[in-house]
Amino acid sequence: MLENLKESALKKLNQIRGIEEEPEEEPIPEFKLDQNMGKCYVLLIDKKGDDLIELKQMSDRLGCITTVSHTGMACMERVLKDKYDIILLAKDLPLMDGAQTMRNIRATKESKCRDAKIYALVAPEDKTSEESLIREGFKGVLRMPVDESLFCKILMENVSPKMLPTDPRLIQQIEERAKAAKALQPCGVALSEGLKANGGDMNELRIQMEKFCDMYEEYKGKLSIYVFGNDVDAYMNGAREVREAAKMIGARHLADIFDDHVNMSKDDSLDVAAATWGRTLLAWERVVSGVAIYLGRSIELVATLTERMPTNGIRLHWADVRAMAEDVMDLLNESELEDAVASMDRILTYDMSSTSRLKLIKASRALNRGDVEGAREALTLILST
């Protein structure tokens, strides 16, 4: 009550002095389609899980009329019966995958969704390139969990303009956040989750991203020493810090990896962490490299994979390295990306010169980002030497 009296007295004093108070700016409204001006029917197809539940809730909240199916066959039953404007279709489905389901939707005469806008849903760790999925016929690609700003952008591009919000500040905010989300999506960072962890404050999220990169600089060598030195307490403390930093920027998959390490290390053993350390570092670097590019800062990454990396003790000569790299290139040319990644991981378990390892690491990092062309370039450089 005293505060209200003080505020009232201050207002009167300012009026006497002729000081006009600036009106408070209205908050930016939430995005929601105007269902009085039209309807947007959305079909979601993916395996059951929390991400799909959240996506359904998001779609409903944004003003769509949303239906969910869990298999390609169930999807076909839907499109033969009902018309949908937008279809978000998981790439990986049992029996009939997303690409085949999409082709069936387009090719089936009785389908009511032959002209629907179909987007691919992929898992956060999926290494398939966006370009290859678009060549398959998808209009675009969304990584799970789907970022709200990217979903809003899809609605803005595909529904009647009269259904859309008109506040220019909201439109600008969605455009800016969708651009950021698109840039961060390939490295496994969900902008909407990062914003949620930071109270919706974009500036605070950027601060957390800077801290995340700083933490990588600090721990990239230390954690390798801890894990191969079997220093359980030191490793667990560091892994917990990386896990929490990953959560704060929306890197859920990376946070889950370190969470698994922490839980497994509670048995006073780092055997599992050591056995999977190379893959863990690649996942960590994937996030760090993407975040660093987004922030416009430079970070040296390849040193991480040469520090205390365990090998099988068998020394490879350059001719052997070239022969194995050629096998990886053959797998890429046959579009066997997962086999290529596994083959590259096996090569890196051998002992070799630091020059050879660095060249292979560049190819490996590209493979783990799903950057097939980048991997080909790195492998071509090896094969031409």
Taking CA atoms, 358 is separated from 299, 302, 306, in Å, by 16, 7, 8
The confidence score (pLDDT) of residue 305 equals 47
> Are 174 and 59 in a shared domain?
yes
Asked if residue 33 belongs to a domain, the reply is no
Q: Are 206 and 336 in the same domain?
A: no
Last residue of a domain, one of 249, 273, 306: 306
Give the chain's mean pLDDT. Answer: 87
* Sheet bearing 140-143, strands edge to edge: 65-69, 41-45, 86-90, 117-122, 140-143
Tokens of 108: 């089936």
Question: Are 58 and 164 part of one and the same domain?
Answer: yes
Q: What SS3 string covers 327-340?
A: HHHHHHHCCCHHHH
- Indicate if 101 and 48 belong to the same structural domain: yes
Q: Which tens digits make up the pLDDT trace of 321-378?
A: 999 999 999 998 888 888 888 888 888 888 887 678 778 877 887 887 778 888 898 8
For the ranges 53-62, 74-83, 227-236, 304-313, which has the lowest average pLDDT? 304-313
Number of H helices, E strands in the chain: 19, 5
**Alpha carbon 91 to its chain's center:** 15
Backbone angles phi, psi at 43, to 5 degrees: -115, 125
**CA 236 to mean position of chain CA atoms:** 25
- Identity of the highest mean pLDDT range in 116-120, 144-148, 280-284, 310-314: 116-120
C-alpha to C-alpha distance for 20 and 102, rounded to whole angstroms:
61
**pTM, full prediction:** 0.68
Query: Can you read off the two tokens belonging to residue 376?
Result: 């080909």
Please tell me whether residues 85 and 155 are part of one structural domain: yes
Within a domain: 302? yes
Do 170 and 207 sit in the same domain of this protein?
no
- Please tell me whether residues 325 and 215 are part of one structural domain: no
Q: What is the structure's pLDDT at 311? A: 67
Specify if 15 maps to a domain: no
Identify the residue with better confidence: 112 or 271.
Answer: 112
Average pLDDT over residues 43-55: 94
Given pLDDT bands bounded at 50, 70 and 90, which one contains residue 309? low
Does residue 360 fall inside a structural domain? Answer: yes
Mapping DSSP onto H, E and C, the string for 54-98 reads: HHHHHHHHCCCEEEEECCHHHHHHHHHHCCCCEEEEECCCCCCCH
3-class secondary-structure state, position 351 = strand
Q: Are both 60 and 123 inside the same structural domain?
A: yes
Q: Say if 151 falls within a structural domain.
A: yes
Residue 364: domain span: 318-383
Could you tell me if 157 and 105 lie in one domain? yes
pLDDT at residue 310, as a whole number = 59
Residues 45 and 178 in one domain: yes
User: Alpha-carbon distance 280 to 235, whole Å?
Assistant: 13
Domain end position, chosen among 285, 306, 327: 306
| Mean pLDDT, residues 114-130 | 89
What is residue 219's predicted lDDT score, i.e. its pLDDT? 87
CA distance 217 to 164: 44
Tell me what pLDDT residue 307 has.
46
**CATH code for position 141:** 3.40.50.2300
Find the helix packing angle between 277-295 and 232-249, rounded to 10°. Answer: 40
The first and second tokens of residue 159, run together, are: 């529904």
H or E, element range at 381 = helix 372-383
DSSP element (H, E) containing 5: helix 2-17
- Residue 362, both tokens: 């560049």
CA 150 to chain centre: 12
Domain-embedded: residue 60: yes
Structure tokens at 58: 């998001």
Q: How many domains does the chain have?
A: 3
308 pLDDT band, cuts 50/70/90, is very low
Residues 305 and 344 sit within 8 Å (Cβ to Cβ): no
DSSP code of 48? S
Whether 241 and 345 map to the same domain: the answer is no
SS3 content of the chain, % helix, strand, coil (to 5): 60, 5, 30
| Per-residue pLDDT, 306 | 47
R_g of the chain, CA atoms, integer Å: 25
Report the pLDDT averaged over residues 50-60.
Answer: 95
Tell me how far apart the alpha carbons of residues 140 and 334 are, in angstroms, rounded to a whole number: 24
User: Are the C-beta atoms of residues 89 and 113 closer than 8 Å to each other?
Assistant: no
Most confident listed range (201-215, 218-232, 267-281, 286-300): 201-215
Residue for token digits 């700003």? 149
Which 3 state secondary structure label does DSSP give 120?
A: strand
CB 72 within 8 A of CB 93: yes
Are both 137 and 240 inside the same structural domain?
A: no
Q: How confident is the model at residue 303 (pLDDT cuts 50, 70, 90)?
A: very low
Q: Is the pLDDT of residue 12 over 70?
A: no
Residue 169: inside a domain, yes or no?
Answer: yes
Q: Pairing between strand 86-90 and 140-143?
A: unpaired
Residue 20 lies in a domain: no
